[in-house]
């Protein structure tokens, strides 16, 4: 949010500065209108009109854009004539621009230097040391989900395979799904939210943890389809989050710490280099005693 505000103010200032002087007409472009020394060109209008819309909609988009553009120019011209404290505004924008440039520079450094600093091993070590910080607030599962139309062939075999779910059964289910399933999801190797899967079937569960502790095979139907969910592993509310789920949070925690440490080191390095290279010039009137006596 802060960077968005900085960008907005900076762009706002650039537009204002550009308006300070009469704009020279670009002879290579087709002007559509001129107001207060500013030109709106035909290609600028055409660029905001989406492809494939009707002629009426195109005219509406163009008219709204033109009105907004003209109003912005007139509003600035009016404001510029009636604001006397321009120096403080320009100083504020300079400060914003400085902050924006510093931030962008720091982000570029972070991208270059810290991209590979957080290894899987380091995140795993952090997870093992701080497991209590990562608790599930909803159930997660690993398993298989399939949806088939009522009357699908060999449905009893599908039920058998889904209950057994060994390697051979899984191969049969995958082959079966290609010809008969309207939806098939295998997530036996990754954690997903139980709610994300159960929303695809006519199923109401009041207490997810209790429900999943009592069954690992869930079968329901509606007027058109059979739905089967086979759970091979479950994590319950209040349990320690599996590493695969906690990993994104751990990455953010460690990256923020690295970011702060890295930026602080860069700042200290720049300052020390400036001192050692005598790039900082202190004037006599700005000695420590004068600073201490300032009101």
> pTM for this structure?
0.56
Q: Are 143 and 188 in contact (CB under 8 A)?
A: yes
Spell out the per-residue pLDDT of the chain, length 295, in tens. 444 444 544 444 545 444 455 678 888 999 999 998 899 999 999 999 999 899 899 999 999 999 999 999 999 888 888 877 778 888 888 888 888 888 888 778 777 766 666 788 889 999 999 999 999 999 999 999 999 999 999 999 999 999 999 999 999 999 999 999 999 999 999 999 999 999 999 999 999 999 999 999 999 999 999 999 999 999 999 999 999 999 989 988 988 888 888 888 888 888 898 888 888 777 675 555 555 554 4
The whole-angstrom separation of Cα 287 and Cα 277 is: 20
CA atoms within a 13 Å half-sphere pointing along the CA-CB vector of 271: 6
Q: Are 134 and 123 in contact (CB under 8 A)?
A: no
């Amino acid at each position: 949010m802060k960077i968005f505000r900085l960008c907005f103010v900076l762009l706002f200032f650039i537009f204002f500065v550009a308006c300070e002087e009469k704009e020279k007409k670009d002879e290579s472009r087709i002007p559509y209108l001129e107001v207060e020394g500013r030109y709106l060109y035909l290609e600028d209008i055409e660029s905001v009109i989406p492809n494939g819309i009707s002629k009426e909609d195109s005219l509406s988009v163009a008219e709204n854009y033109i009105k907004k553009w003209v109003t912005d120019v007139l509003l600035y011209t009016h404001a510029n004539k009636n604001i006397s404290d321009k120096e403080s505004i320009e100083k504020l924008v300079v400060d914003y621009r400085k902050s924006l440039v510093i931030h962008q520079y720091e982000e570029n450094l972070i991208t270059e230097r810290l991209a590979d600093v957080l290894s899987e091993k380091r995140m795993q070590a952090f997870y093992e040391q701080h497991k209590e910080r990562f608790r599930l607030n909803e159930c997660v599962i690993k398993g298989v989900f399939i949806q088939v139309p009522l009357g699908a062939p060999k449905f009893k075999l599908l039920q058998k395979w889904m209950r057994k779910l060994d390697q051979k059964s899984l191969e049969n289910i995958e082959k079966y799904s290609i010809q008969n399933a309207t939806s098939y999801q295998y997530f036996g190797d990754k954690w997903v939210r139980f709610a994300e899967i159960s929303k695809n079937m006519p199923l109401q569960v009041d207490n997810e943890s209790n429900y999943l502790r009592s069954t690992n095979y869930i079968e329901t139907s509606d007027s058109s389809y059979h739905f089967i969910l086979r759970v091979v592993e479950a994590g319950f509310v209040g349990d320690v989050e599996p590493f695969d789920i906690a990993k994104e949070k751990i990455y953010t925690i460690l990256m923020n710490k690295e970011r702060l440490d890295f930026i602080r080191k860069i700042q200290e390095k720049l300052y020390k280099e400036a001192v050692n290279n005598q790039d900082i010039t202190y004037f006599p009137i700005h000695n420590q005693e004068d600073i201490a006596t300032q009101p």
